Structure 1
Amino acid sequence: MWNLLRNWYQEKFSDPQAVTLALILMVGFAIIYFYGKLITPLLVAVVLAYMLEWPVAQMANRGLPRSVAVSLVLLVFVGAMMMFCLIALPQIWNQGISLARELPDMIAWAQSKVLTLPQQYPDVISEKQMQELMQNLNARILAWAQQVLQVSLGSLIDLVALAVYAILVPLLLFFFLKDKRELLSSFSRFVPSNRELAKQVWTEMNGQIVNYIRGKAIEILIIGVASYLTFLFMDLRYAALLGLAVGLSVLIPYIGATVITIPVALVGLFQWGLTPQFGYLLLAYGIIQMLDGNVLVPILFSEAVNLHPVAIIVSVLIFGGLWGFWGVFFAIPLATLVKAVVNAWPSVDLMEEQSS
């Protein structure tokens, strides 16, 4: 056993560059895992910097000073965020409050319909089984409501931190965009000299992260707006809230679209019942999801993501469990990072071939 471990270590870590890459990865993962909450403003600023780097670079390539380009892009971005907060956010907030008030009636109505199933299909399910199912479901709903209440109270406590983030994030974003080269040069001084392998992985990952974050922002915007306009055209209640939820659901591949189907179907079923209008809603929602998965995603992420769906789902579960929201958001880039490291990692046979 010891010889097996020693041979594996000599094969994988005989190259100093491999040791450097492993050290960088371990330090980076440890910092995010143990201090993720403390550096949340930094992570948010980094994500926004990746998203806004493209328009800044385009303006700089056309001869505009980078500081001026950064100022213009940030001015437009902050203005768009303020318009969203002043126009769309109050409507979404009001719809959320109305939905929370009406949710118990929706659940009671759905339960009354479900309880009639034993009478319609006595050979499939008994009344006792249905009652036990309803009891378990009510217990889960109550536990979920308590968790939501705790999160809401915690959010009230974090309002001060949110106000601080509102100041820190734009400042960090401005300096990340303006002094990008200087910051990267300063950071490279803390990395060991044997970093060619780490540089190779970083070069590959940097382009993919840029494409992923920019593509994900575009996907959220397109799917959210398309869903809102569809729900509004069909006169579905809570159109703005559900449209925002559908747009944000694309952050979690495959799982998000499945989960958000439940509130969309529940609201439509409570509003129209089992009518053709409800069928049209499900058809329109299915078309949006189909266009997203078969048209929009291949266009936006054709070069950024080349992973099997099973690998994506596993990465969402693993990294989401480790780092929560940020793990889910960066699940695909992290999975791509693992793939890039595995492909670039040197072995004894490879080094012998290169030396010969």
Structure 2
Amino acid sequence: MFEYLKSWYERKFSDPHSVTLLLLLTVLIAFLYFVGSLIIPVLVALVIAYLLEWPVLKLQSLGLARLTACATVILTFAGILVGVFVIMVPVLWQQTANLFQEAPNMLEQGKSFLMHLPTQYPELINGTQIQNVMTSVENKVIEFSQQVLSFSLTSLKDVVAWMIYLILVPLLVFFMLKDKVELTSGIETFLPKQRRLITQVWHEMNQQIMNYIRGKVIEIVIIGGVSFIAFAIFDLRYAALLSVLVGLSVLIPFVGAALVTIPVAAVALFQFGLTPEFWYLIIAYGVIQALDGNVLVPLLFSEAVDLNPVYIIVAVLFFGGLWGFWGVFFAIPLASLVRALVNAWTTQDKEFVQEFE
């Protein structure tokens, strides 16, 4: 056993490039784990910079200077965000307030529906089970309401911080885009000379991360927009709010689609009851989710979908537990990073065997 471990260690870490890659990875993980919450504006700016790099490159290919292209793209992006905020936020706020007002009625209707189940299906369920379910649901609702209230009160303390972020993030994005070459060159000066494997992994991940962020934004817009159209056709209440939730649910692979189905089905059941309209809406929603998973995702993430769904779910659970929202958002790229690291060390292992032979 000891000889096997010694042989494995020599194969994997006999080259300084492998050791350098492992040390850099360890330092980055420790840095993000301990101080990641302190550099949230930098992470947000980095995500936006990756998103806007593609249109900047397109404008450069048309003959514009890098500075002019960056300024044009950032101003356009800021204008779109302001327009979306002015148009959508009041609607979403009003629908959210109305939903909270109607939530007690929806709960009472759900109770009435559940209380009739023992009468209709006495061989499958009894009154005690229904009572336990209702008690559990009520406790969860109370707990969620307390968390929302607590979040609202604590978020008031962070208004100044958010105002600072609104100034810092655009500035960071602008300079990250404008000075991309200088920044990357500066980072390279801090790296050791034995960085062949680091360069290999970086080249494999850089383009993939940019494509992933751009594809994820496109997926959110398409799924949210198509869901809104479908909900509007059926005249579903809170169509805008529910379509935004459906769009954002794609941030969590597999799990998000299952979670957002609950509010969609609950609102539809409250509005339509167990009528044909309810089932037509659920079928339309299922078709949207099926097209997203089987058509849109493979088109937008042709490289990422090579990962087995089991690996993706494990990555969501693991990285989400480590870094919360950002861990969930980057679960697929991080899983791909792990694969790139394995590929790099596997390549190194093959080269070691060839040299040995």
Q: TM-score, normalised by structure 2?
A: 0.96
1:260-299 equivalent positions in 2, closer than 5 A? 260-299=260-299
Inter-partner Cα distance in structure 2 for 1:106 and 1:221: 29
Q: Using the TM superposition, give the Cα deviation of residue 5 of structure 1 relative to its aligned residue in structure 2, in angstroms.
A: 4.3
Specify the alignment match of 1:102 in structure 2. Answer: 102
Specify the alignment match of 1:83 in structure 2. Answer: 83
Specify the alignment match of 2:191 in structure 1. Answer: 191
CA contact (8 A) 1:321 1:327 kept: yes
In the alignment, residue 12 of structure 2 is paired with which amino acid? K
Change (3 A) 1:26 1:250: same
Specify the alignment match of 1:336 in structure 2. Answer: 336
Specify the alignment match of 2:131 in structure 1. Answer: 131
Inter-partner Cα distance in structure 2 for 1:136 and 1:222: 36
Inter-partner Cα distance in structure 2 for 1:101 and 1:22: 53
Point out where structure 2 has 5 or more consecutive residues left out of the alignment. Answer: none
Specify the alignment match of 1:147 in structure 2. Answer: 147
Inter-partner Cα distance in structure 1 for 2:136 and 2:236: 30
Q: Using the TM superposition, give the Cα deviation of residue 304 of structure 1 relative to its aligned residue in structure 2, in angstroms.
A: 4.1
In the alignment, residue 220 of structure 2 is paired with which amino acid? I
Q: Deviations over 1:65-89 (max 9, x none)?
A: 1100011101110000000111111
Q: Using the TM superposition, give the Cα deviation of residue 157 of structure 1 relative to its aligned residue in structure 2, in angstroms.
A: 2.0
Change (3 A) 1:348 1:222: closer
1:241-252 equivalent positions in 2, closer than 5 A? 241-252=241-252
Specify the alignment match of 2:259 in structure 1. Answer: 259
The answer as to 2:354 corresponding to 1:353 is: yes
Q: Using the TM superposition, give the Cα deviation of residue 353 of structure 1 relative to its aligned residue in structure 2, in angstroms.
A: 0.3
CA contact (8 A) 2:11 2:352 kept: no
Specify the alignment match of 1:13 in structure 2. Answer: 13
Point out where structure 1 has 5 or more consecutive residues left out of the alignment. Answer: none
Q: Using the TM superposition, give the Cα deviation of residue 141 of structure 1 relative to its aligned residue in structure 2, in angstroms.
A: 2.2
Change (3 A) 1:254 1:95: same
- Aligned positions, number: 356
In the alignment, residue 144 of structure 2 is paired with which amino acid? W
Q: Using the TM superposition, give the Cα deviation of residue 155 of structure 1 relative to its aligned residue in structure 2, in angstroms.
A: 2.1
Specify the alignment match of 1:176 in structure 2. Answer: 176
1:110-125 equivalent positions in 2, closer than 5 A? 110-125=110-125
Q: Using the TM superposition, give the Cα deviation of residue 301 of structure 1 relative to its aligned residue in structure 2, in angstroms.
A: 0.8
CA contact (8 A) 1:252 1:329 kept: yes
Q: Using the TM superposition, give the Cα deviation of residue 354 of structure 1 relative to its aligned residue in structure 2, in angstroms.
A: 4.2
Greater shift after overlay, 67-76 or 299-308?
A: 299-308
CA contact (8 A) 1:305 1:336 kept: no
CA contact (8 A) 1:231 1:239 kept: yes
Q: Using the TM superposition, give the Cα deviation of residue 286 of structure 1 relative to its aligned residue in structure 2, in angstroms.
A: 0.9
Q: Using the TM superposition, give the Cα deviation of residue 41 of structure 1 relative to its aligned residue in structure 2, in angstroms.
A: 0.6
What SS is found at the alignment partner of 1:250? helix
Inter-partner Cα distance in structure 2 for 1:197 and 1:39: 27
CA contact (8 A) 1:221 1:247 kept: yes
In the alignment, residue 216 of structure 2 is paired with which amino acid? K
The answer as to 2:232 corresponding to 1:238 is: no
Q: Using the TM superposition, give the Cα deviation of residue 190 of structure 1 relative to its aligned residue in structure 2, in angstroms.
A: 0.9
Across the aligned residues of Structure 1 and Structure 2, the Cα RMSD in angstroms comes to: 1.5
Q: Deviations over 1:9-59 (max 9, x none)?
A: 323211100011011111111111111111101001111111110110011
Inter-partner Cα distance in structure 2 for 1:349 and 1:214: 35
Inter-partner Cα distance in structure 2 for 1:63 and 1:136: 62
What SS is found at the alignment partner of 1:345? helix
